[in-house]
Amino acid sequence: MFTDKQSFVTSFQERFVALNGKSFDEGTEQEVYQTLATMVREQAIPKWINTRDKHEEKQSKQVIYFSLEFLLGRFLYNNLLSMDVLEVVQEGLEELGFNFTDITEYEPEPGLGNGGLGRLAACFLDSLAALSLPGHGNGIRYRYGLFKQKIVDGYQVELPDNWLRDGNMWETRRADRAIDVNFGGWIEMRQIGDRLRVVHHPDEVVRAVPYDMPVIGYKNDVVNTLRLWNAESPFDDEEYMERTKGSYKDLLKYKQSIATISEFLYPDDTTYEGKVLRLKQQYFFVSAGVQSMIASYLRHNKSLKHLGDHYAVHINDTHPVVAIPELMRILMDDHGYGWDEAWRVTKSVMSFTNHTLLAEALEKWPVEMYERLLPRIYQIITEINRRFCKDVLVNYPHLEPHMGEIAIVSNEHINMANLAVVGSHSTNGVARIHTDILKQREMRHLYEMFPLRFNNKTNGITHRRWLLKSNPRLSNLITDAIGTSWIEHPNDLEKLMGVSKDASFQEQVMNVKQQNKLDLAGYIQAETGIAVDPDSIFDVQVKRLHAYKRQLMDAMHIHALYQKIQADPTFTMVPRTFIFGAKAAPGYYYAKEVIRYINALASMINNDKRASRFIKVVFLENYRVSMAERIFPGSDLSEQISTASYEASGTGNMKFMMNGALTIGTLDGANIEIRDAVGDDHIFIFGLTPQEVMNYKKFGGYHAADIYHANMEVRNVVDALVNGTFDKVGEYQFQAIFDSLLVYNDDFLVLKDFASYMQAQRRVDEVFADKARWAESSIVNTAKSGIFSSDRTITEYANAVWNIKPTSVK
């Protein structure tokens, strides 16, 4: 029914009537979206079933990617592209009198993640399917995604993201595959013959019901699965009331308490409130995922001894680390394996990615909480710890003084990162520098014990969403220049090096950028009412708001420029549009103050007649995947200015680069590898090195006040935070920001890097004025971005970590 326009139009009208129970003439755009998505899903279903069958038939080893976050973004466009029916559908809808782009806007956006970590999981699913690899996602079907951000009088206000209100067209509820997950209660040791059997008497049972979403491979007929679990009651209502002799009200209360487990995504991936609930979420989706994996395995195999030849479980950050003791529990308690055998199997199945070095994000759970909520899991962790500590004392006695640091249980806390390293066969960092720091500093003792387990897998992004889909103009131009091979082999983008100095190609690339900037300008106008100059430098910083990412430094640069404009009537500069998008965790006061500061600068500068000829400041509210897709294609300059050694990798940096933006950045995370790829001439690097930052942190010697006193530019900007400057735009002081710099000695070395940043920005102005030079750099950035495709990353994981192979399903 999708083979040509006419048959699409006919079957679309038929399906519309059948699904909506009314004539097509009365159709709303939302119903058109829902009908279309339903049809696409139905088209994918035979391929979905076939993919499962082929994986079984060929006994392909599969990976399951366990992640508390999947920042998916919309599917419709990508699914149509992957199924090779985009044009037919676009033209068919046109004929029916609908605009395809408008229709896509009705798709609710599953924002089941905070930022880079969740988006990485989504890019990985896309690459697994595109590369015909048997790989699936396992996560939570949050009732509410990450909060929706509004800016009211400069302040961030959070609203619920009710993404399921009108239904999710892509999911299929699989009640037949529901799994019960046990919490609390007590453990009985029962002697049965010569074996000691463990029986867990839980005091709460939660039913995990899977909702499966198809992950459609790019033009290869592969459809993998993202399985998201919903928390429900295992009893029917009457049964529950009879068992508990409770009232109707008690029943509702009980049901609500269960539903809470999959109610919402914690709006922060570095600190956590509601700890018990968060722990419940973790065990809920991990236990359901591991149990469901074992159940599928046992449908076709007998002995779990060889589980590791058929399944790999990947643990995305520390949130799913409880998969390790959970698999131990199932092997021992449910299937009678002894410790050593269970341990061997568990390690062979599990692999782990560390995502951050920030101390507050390295999860440590109070022993008491585990003991109460997961009594059997706690016993197993204690035994893993006992054996590990013994191993240290016997085989690595010189590490004894560091036991508190490397043990799995110490100081009444469970160290999840240590458990992950000890209980898996692979631990990786997400960029070269990050992995090196893990090995040399953060985890140096564990690295000494298990050197072969540590490896690097530099992050990547799917070029299908972030270039092919979101930047059709540039994609078409690239294809005109070098053919289509880059779509399957993104490293072929390197062929663009052959035309990077070609004046006519440079001009075409700059024309595409200009058109994309016009689109972005239109979007900004529609969203904010601010008119921006499309000939100005579009200087963009979009990412979660966090002190280490230093949005503050970007804002201070703007303020310094504004002060120059005010002080000198003859001052001129290359016009710039500063564009920000960032959500702050709701409880993170400092981050919210930085948002207020940016918005205060915006109202001060945009309303100043002379200054606004040179500078506009735009804060786009509610940064998310669909907005990101509009921003990268129209960006000139990519702000990647984190304090060196704090950004594990970054992936926003890769999206900008691929879309031909030049990076201004520190030697941090993947910026280093971007610099190595493009060369120093095509990137603006500034600031302290990771080693210099780490030395300041270890030995001290940095005094923010010295810089404040020595540098007048810094002093004027910092003073303005608290001297009444912002009164005229109705804002009061920014005392917390001022204090972070001068009272608390500027933890993230903003003032230390400021002069070097300003200087790098002046280089940006110079290069931008030389159109040919900028164009060449832009082309070089796109040309060298192939290695940052998540296809490269996933190929490395498949070969070196998971040992899975492409499986053709044709």
Ligand X SMILES: *Cc1c(COP(=O)(O)O)cnc(C)c1O
Is there a catalytic annotation at residue 355? yes
Supply the minimum distance, in Å, between the C-beta of residue 144 and ligand X. Answer: 17
Q: Which span sits near ligand X by CB under 6 A: 144-152, 522-530, 599-607, 646-654?
A: 646-654
Shortest Å, Cβ 166 to ligand X: 22
**690-729 binders of ligand X (CB under 6 A):** none
Using the contact rule CB under 6 A, the part of the chain among 237-245, 278-286, 650-658, 690-698 near ligand X is 650-658
* Cα(557)–Cα(255) distance, integer angstroms: 52
Stretch that binds ligand X, among 77-85, 111-119, 175-183, 413-421 (CB under 6 A): 111-119
**Catalytic residue (choose from 439, 543, 592, 596):** 543
| Dihedral angle over CA of 43, 49, 54, 57, nearest 10 | -160
- Give yes or no: 655 in active site: yes
**Least distance from C-beta 628 to ligand X, angstroms?**
4
- Of the candidate residues 27, 92, 110, 115, the single one contacting ligand X (CB under 6 A): 115
Which of 549, 557, 630, 752 does the annotation list as catalytic? Answer: 549
Report the residue number, 92 or 118, with the smaller CB distance to ligand X.
118
Q: Which stretch binds ligand X (CB under 6 A): 3-11, 14-22, 181-189, 624-632?
A: 624-632
154 binds ligand X (CB under 6 A): no
DSSP-based three-state secondary structure for 363: coil
Closest CB to ligand X among residues 200, 469: 469
Among positions 35, 651, 666, 761, the unique one binding ligand X when judged by CB under 6 A = 651
Q: How far is the CB of 318 from ligand X (least distance, A)?
A: 19
543 among known catalytic residues? yes
Q: Which is nearer to ligand X, 327 or 625 (CB)?
A: 625
Which residue, 534 or 665, is less far from ligand X as judged by CB? Answer: 665
Q: Which CB atom, from 308 or from 650, has the smaller least distance to ligand X?
A: 650
Return the closest-CA partner of residue 592 out of 112, 157, 273: 157
Distance CA 651, CA 141 (A): 24
When asked if residue 214 is in the footprint of ligand X (CB under 6 A), the reply is no
Segment 361 to 400, residues that bind ligand X, using CB under 6 A? none
Residue nearest to ligand X (CB): 652
Task: Decide if 440 contacts 658 (C-beta within 8 A).
Answer: no
Q: How far is the CB of 145 from ligand X (least distance, A)?
A: 12
Q: 759 in helix, strand or coil?
A: helix
Sequence-distant contacts of 234-242: CB under 8 A, at least 24 apart:
234/180, 234/205, 234/206, 234/207
Integer distance in angstroms from the first to the last C-alpha of the chain? Answer: 20
Q: Is 624 in the site for ligand X (CB under 6 A)?
A: yes
DSSP secondary structure letters along 629-672: HHHGGG-SEEEE-PPTTS-S--SHHHHHHHTTPEEEE-S-TTHH
Q: Which of 51, 353, 651, 807 is catalytic?
A: 651
Nearer CB in complex with ligand X: 72/714? 72
119 part of the interface to ligand X, by CB under 6 A: yes
Beta carbons of 503 and 548 less than 8 angstroms apart = no
Neighbour-count burial of 664, counting CB atoms closer than 10 A to its CB (0-12 exposed, 13-18 middle, 19+ buried) = buried
Q: 135 or 145, CB closer to ligand X? A: 145
628 binds ligand X (CB under 6 A): yes
Judged by CB under 6 A, does residue 267 bind ligand X?
no
Radius of gyration for the chain, computed over Cα atoms and rounded to the nearest angstrom: 27
| Six token digits for residue 436 | 């090196």
- Using the rule CB under 6 A, which residue among 279, 330, 414, 625 binds ligand X? 625
Whole-angstrom distance, CA of residue 239 vs CA of residue 232: 14
The window from 40-48, 440-448, 591-599, 620-628 that contacts ligand X (CB under 6 A) reads 620-628
Query: In whole angstroms, what is the distance from residue 78 CA to residue 72 CA?
Result: 11
Burial 30-55 (b: 16+ CB within 10 A, else e): ebbbbbbbbbbbebbeebbebbbebb
- Given 27, 110, 116, 429, the residue binding ligand X (CB under 6 A): 116
Residues in the chain: 810
Nearer to ligand X, 69 or 753 (CB): 69
- For ligand X, what does the binding mask look like between residues 535 and 564, x meaning CB under 6 A? --------xx--------------------
Cα–Cα distance for residue pair 635/311, rounded to 1 Å: 42
Least CB distance from residue 85 to ligand X, whole Å? 26
Q: Which structure tokens are listed for 646?
A: 């704090």
User: Among residues 41, 319, 655, 752, which one is catalytic?
Assistant: 655
How far apart, in whole angstroms, are the C-alpha atoms of residue 289 and residue 109?
24
Residue from 135, 429, 652, 665 binding ligand X (CB under 6 A): 652
Q: Which of the ranges 95-103, 165-173, 623-631, 801-809 carries the binding residues for ligand X, by CB under 6 A? A: 623-631
449-455: Cβ within 8 A, 24+ apart: 449/392, 449/396, 449/399, 449/406, 450/421, 450/422, 453/421, 453/424, 453/425, 453/426, 453/427, 454/427, 454/428, 454/429, 455/426, 455/427, 455/428, 455/800, 455/801
* Catalytic status, residue 501: no
- Please name every residue paired with 357 in a beta bridge, in sequence order, or none if there are none: none
Distance between CA atoms of residues 592 and 62, nearest Å: 42
3-state secondary structure 124-148: HHHHHHHCCCCEEEEEECCCEEEEE
State the pairing for strand pair 62-66/135-140. Answer: parallel
The yes or no reply on residue 464 touching ligand X (CB under 6 A) is no
Task: Please report how close the Cβ of residue 131 comes to ligand X at its closest, in angstroms.
Answer: 20
Catalytic residue among 47, 355, 439, 445: 355
Q: Total residues at the site for ligand X (CB under 6 A)?
A: 12
What residues make contact with ligand X under the rule CB under 6 A?
115-116, 119, 543-544, 624-625, 628, 650-652, 655
Active site residues: 355, 543-544, 549, 651, 655
